[in-house]
Amino acid sequence: KERKSAGWALKNSEFVQFHKQLETEGLDLAQVIGEATSMPEKPGSIRRTQSINLSSSVQRHSIFVDYKSFERSVTSLLASMLQPKELDTLLEEIVKKSQTEEEEDAE
């Protein structure tokens, strides 16, 4: 079985995709807290779930599932013995990402 390279993992892994999506879309904490604390008016009464609430719940669950996948990806990377060339590629990508973030923060 051929192992995927570190370069491939940095570009295509669920770990990277999860964080890219989280950076672009973000997470609205106020909305999450509001949905978590909303209760039906009367105990035992059933309230119809609005589609936006359902959509947000699905999105939060998807983020959770993606994060679990991210954890598995990190564990796999840490557990695998990278070839020197793959390790260099990984380190270069980390440095590039770090420099890009520093430049964005400086602006």
pLDDT in tens, 48-94: 555 556 667 778 888 888 888 888 887 787 777 778 898 889 889 98
CA distances from 51 to 48, 55, 56, 57, 92 (A): 9, 6, 9, 10, 44
3-state secondary structure of 38: coil
Give the per-residue pLDDT at 96: 93
Cβ atoms 1, 49 nearer than 8 A = no
The reported pTM is 0.30
Nearest Cα to 13, choosing from 73, 75, 94, 61? Answer: 73
Higher-pLDDT residue of 10 and 38 is 10
